[in-house]
Amino acid sequence: MRRGWKMALSGGLRCCRRVLSWMPVLVIVLVVLWSYYAYVFELCLVIYLIFYHAIFVFFTWTYWKSIFTLPQQPNQKFHLSYSDKERYENEERPEVQKQMLIDMAKKLPVYTRTGSGAIRFCDRCHLIKPDRCHHCSVCAMCVLKMDHHCPWVNNCIGFSNYKFFLQFLAYSVLYCLYIATTVFNYFIKYWRGELPSVRSKFHVLFLLFVACMFFVSLVILFGYHCWLVSRNKTTLEAFCTPVFTSGPEKNGFNLGFIKNIQQVFGDNKKFWLIPVGSSPGDGHSFPLRSMNESQNPLLANEEPWDENEDENRDYPEVSSSIAVETET
């Protein structure tokens, strides 16, 4: 009886947590809906509304894509099979467990390690983590090229939706800037006492205040992510330098400014401003910075991990002498 009561309580807490996780999104939606009403129905001229709606459409489109584009998880090649999982969990000898994971890692394009140089293994999802993949405790899964978990979109930002998140930030900055600049004229009228309507005064003051407040915070966040894109880094990699088989390398994925941008937005520039998927690759492996092979074992040849992989890509050799360590 007590066990059933505890399970019901645990289920209720999980349900409450899921509901509360949508509160930041609800706040943003309500603010945007109010700003739309105040701007369109209370204040603006037709000439302003044409450009306003163009920005508003892209703003809401990118926000929707950031929220509802599910994080992409590693495919089955990185998971332990059912039999291997049972054997791994039942095995009491650590050296045998290590050898199992080492054998699996040899066939996969994984070149990053933990801080101690061990193979990156998730003991929750029972998989060897692809490069730049991390386990999100909020989403309870491993996310390819994870950047961070964002409460304002109630979603994990990673390979599948990082482009949409950047576009959302860009259009949010543009949205706030446009509202602030066009409403400023009404603020001058309010200051001079030329707005007789009390309701209009309220909307003018709060539109300008909210637009400026969000603009300042968003432009800082957007500028930071632009810097990350220019260096081909994720937020996690900016705070914790990636470790490769040769050791820590903060610029291991830096391909140069243009190629770094293309790693997020793709080669076709006509898709850069539109929230459609155009990021190259599958999120499981990424091109590495060009270095001298004699100085960096990352560029050594390795057998392909999949028959369909590009035959021209060279992968570094994974040493079987590296220790295995779980990482969550």
Catalytic amino acids? 150
- Which residue, among 82, 117, 114, 87, has the nearest Cα to 100 in the 3D structure? 87
Q: State the Cα–Cα distance between residues 205 and 208, nearest whole angstrom.
A: 5
Q: Which two tokens stand for residue 260?
A: 């770094």
CA distances from residue 60 to 65, 172, 175, 238, 323 in whole angstroms, order as listed: 9, 9, 10, 29, 47
If one counts every other C-beta atom within 10 angstroms of the C-beta of residue 131, the result is: 22
> CA-based Rg of the chain, rounded to a whole angstrom?
25
CB 89 within 8 A of CB 99: no
CB-based contacts of 200: which residues, under 8 Å, 6+ apart? 42, 43, 186, 190
Q: State the Cα–Cα distance between residues 95 and 164, nearest whole angstrom.
A: 43
